[in-house]
């Protein structure tokens, strides 16, 4: 059992400084369809992340909802609720309508954006803007847990939330053993630690691939509380959203794709990633990369799989020209079937692979693509 007291001590030091910057002079609630649940029941708050079109919740948030339902199921009384914060949305937004179909949710808070500039701050989950909003809700409703996906969005916001509440953050959990006991990987996934959190509110991020996604059904008649919110902290006044550069891709999202093909330094150049693209086209796969491939400039940062990249757990993961360093394995070893192509028979990737091909990737990958093509043609003609 690992204690969180050390982490708390260091966070408290930082939050003492941060706290002087926080203030909530312009916060008020406009409408409230339902004030409180029963007096004895508590609620957990999940911070919603939506897709780039802002029309639906990301898989990371749906997994966070499942994890949260396990946390509150283990807490007394049993009638605890999960509330969802959808910052930057109004109550009639498409994403809010869809979120009402999540059966585990009992209430939604929406925070409409007063103008385009603030919309961007909510949309991109700017921590200096989101954290005061979450702290305001926490001061008001005293949630037992505040939970988000361990995606870039959650990793950006939640440390600031934890620091401003002067509690520890429990990061990237992969299991729930109680309302305050969590499992999380350490040493790049080589060991699992069981963490008991003694803080009054548990600030938790959830590894999306470790929990089933909450299922969307028919929209329920849920209470939606609309908040009018303009943080006036020094930090939030200083921050402005400028721009983003996103590479456009027709491929499935890396973190939710059924099949992922990742390339490593063995591909030798950005141009050579085209041979992976041809195979990915045949399999409807997303393309990932090792950090060495990203650092060498073969592909953009958002394609990185691993400890400091994305965690994926597809049905099929094909590692091409990747040695299998522990930091890479940390992001993909939960894949259902792992295939490795490497010319070095001693490459560590073969220790986790279900199927290994010791071969030159520049011969093996085009050959696989050709065979898939032939099979597809045979299937059409027969
Ligand atoms: C704090 C920290 C965090 C990190 N985070 C990550 C992370 O998130 N993700 C990540 O991936 N790494 C991460 N790393 C880096 C990691 O340690 C490795 O350096 C990296 O994963 C190696 O990438 P690679 O396997 O592509 O390259 P290499 O280790 O150089 O392996 C290349 C492989 O390609 C094979 N090969 C070469 N040519 C061919 C060919 N023609 N045909 C077939 N096979 C061929 C070689 O045999 C070799 O096994 C991190 C490191 C640190 C210290």
Q: What is the DSSP string of 202-267?
A: EEEEE-GGGSPPPPB-SPP---EEEEE-----HHHHH-----------SSPPTTT-SEEEEE-GGG
Which pLDDT belongs to residue 165? 97
Q: Please check whether the two domains, 2-231 and 259-381, share a CATH topology.
A: yes
Query: Residue 229: which pLDDT band, with cuts at 50, 70 and 90?
Result: confident
CB of 288 sitting under 6 A from ligand 1: no
Tens of pLDDT, residues 313-347: 999 999 999 999 999 999 999 999 999 999 999 99
Closest CA to 329 of 187, 231, 201, 121: 187
Higher pLDDT, 148 or 11: 148
Cα 382 to its chain centre, rounded Å, is 43
Which pLDDT belongs to residue 120? 86
Query: Residue 382: which pLDDT band, with cuts at 50, 70 and 90?
Result: low
Is the model's pLDDT at 20 over the cut of 60? no
Going from the Cα of 121 to the center of ligand 1, the distance in angstroms, rounded, reads: 35
Which pLDDT belongs to residue 4? 36
Q: Is 327 annotated as a binding residue?
A: yes
CB of 113 sitting under 6 A from ligand 1: no
CB of 293 sitting under 6 A from ligand 1: yes
Span 254-275, average pLDDT: 96
CB of 347 sitting under 6 A from ligand 1: yes
**In which order are the strands placed within the sheet that holds 224-228?**
28-31, 224-228, 105-111, 81-87, 43-47, 145-149, 202-206, 169-173
CB of 265 sitting under 6 A from ligand 1: yes
Q: Which fold has domain 2-231?
A: Rossmann fold (3.40.50)
Q: Where are the domains of the chain?
A: 2-231, 259-381
Query: Residue 7: which pLDDT band, with cuts at 50, 70 and 90?
Result: very low
Q: Is 220 annotated as a binding residue?
A: no
Query: Which atom of ligand 1 is found nearest the CA of 344?
Result: 47
Which pLDDT belongs to residue 255? 87
Which pLDDT belongs to residue 41? 65
Which pLDDT belongs to residue 346? 98
Q: Is 38 annotated as a binding residue?
A: no
CB of 331 sitting under 6 A from ligand 1: yes
Query: Which atom of ligand 1 is found nearest the CA of 321?
Result: 34
Q: Is 14 annotated as a binding residue?
A: no
CB of 144 sitting under 6 A from ligand 1: no
What span, in angstroms and rounded, lies between the C-alpha atoms of 39 and 32?
Answer: 17
Lowest pLDDT segment from 71-75, 213-217, 234-238, 240-244: 234-238
For the record, the structure tokens of 278 come out as 């041809």
Is the model's pLDDT at 283 over the cut of 90? yes
Which pLDDT belongs to residue 30? 31
Tens of pLDDT, residues 101-138: 999 999 999 999 888 888 888 888 999 989 999 999 99
Is the model's pLDDT at 15 over the cut of 80? no
Instruction: Supply the angle between the helices 152-165 and 127-141 in degrees, to the nearest 10.
Output: 50
Lowest pLDDT segment from 22-36, 206-220, 231-245, 288-302: 22-36
Tens of pLDDT, residues 50-97: 988 889 999 999 999 999 999 998 777 666 899 999 999 999 999 999
Is the model's pLDDT at 143 over the cut of 50? yes
CB of 266 sitting under 6 A from ligand 1: yes
The pTM of the full predicted model, rounded to 2 decimals, is: 0.79
CB of 188 sitting under 6 A from ligand 1: no
Instruction: Look at domain 259-381 and name its CATH class.
Output: alpha beta
Which pLDDT belongs to residue 36? 36
Query: Which atom of ligand 1 is found nearest the CA of 341?
Result: 43
Span 248-256, average pLDDT: 85
Query: Which atom of ligand 1 is found nearest the CA of 322?
Result: 25
Minimum CA distance residue for ligand 1 atom 29 = 323
């Amino acid at each position: 059992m690992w204690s969180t007291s050390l982490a708390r001590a260091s966070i408290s030091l930082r939050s003492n400084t941060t706290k002087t910057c926080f203030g909530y002079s312009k916060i008020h609630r406009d409408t409230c369809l339902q004030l409180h649940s029963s007096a004895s029941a508590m609620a957990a708050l999940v911070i919603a992340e939506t897709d780039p079109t802002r029309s639906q919740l990301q898989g990371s948030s749906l997994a966070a909802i499942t994890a949260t339902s396990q946390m509150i199921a283990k807490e007394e009384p049993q009638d605890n609720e999960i509330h969802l914060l959808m910052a930057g949305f109004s109550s009639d937004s498409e994403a809010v309508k869809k979120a009402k179909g999540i059966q585990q949710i009992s209430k939604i808070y929406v925070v409409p954006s007063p103008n385009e500039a603030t919309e961007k701050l909510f949309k991109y989950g700017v921590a200096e803007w989101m954290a005061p909003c979450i702290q305001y809700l926490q001061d008001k409703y005293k949630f037992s847990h505040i939970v988000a996906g361990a995606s870039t969005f959650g990793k950006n916001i939640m440390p600031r939330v934890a620091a401003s509440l002067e509690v520890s953050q429990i990061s990237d959990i992969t299991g729930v053993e109680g309302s305050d006991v969590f499992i999380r990987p350490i040493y790049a996934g080589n060991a699992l630690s069981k963490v008991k959190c003694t803080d009054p509110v548990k600030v938790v991020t959830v590894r999306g691939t470790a929990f089933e996604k909450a299922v969307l059904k028919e929209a329920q008649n849920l209470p939606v509380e609309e908040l009018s919110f303009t943080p006036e902290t020094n930090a939030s006044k200083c921050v402005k959203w400028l721009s983003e550069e996103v590479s456009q891709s027709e491929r499935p999202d890396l973190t939710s794709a059924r099949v992922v093909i990742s390339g490593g330094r063995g591909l030798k150049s950005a141009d050579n990633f085209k041979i992976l693209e041809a195979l990915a086209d045949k399999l409807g796969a997303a393309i990932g990369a090792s950090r060495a491939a990203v650092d060498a400039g073969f592909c953009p940062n958002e394609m990185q799989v691993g400890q400091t990249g994305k965690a994926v757990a597809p049905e099929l993961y094909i590692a091409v020209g990747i040695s299998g360093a522990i930091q890479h394995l940390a992001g993909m070893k939960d894949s259902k079937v792992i295939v490795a192509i490497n010319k070095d028979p001693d490459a560590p990737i073969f220790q986790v692979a279900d199927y290994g091909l010791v071969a030159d990737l520049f011969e093996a990958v085009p050959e696989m693509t050709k065979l898939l093509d032939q099979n597809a043609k045979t299937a059409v003609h027969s």
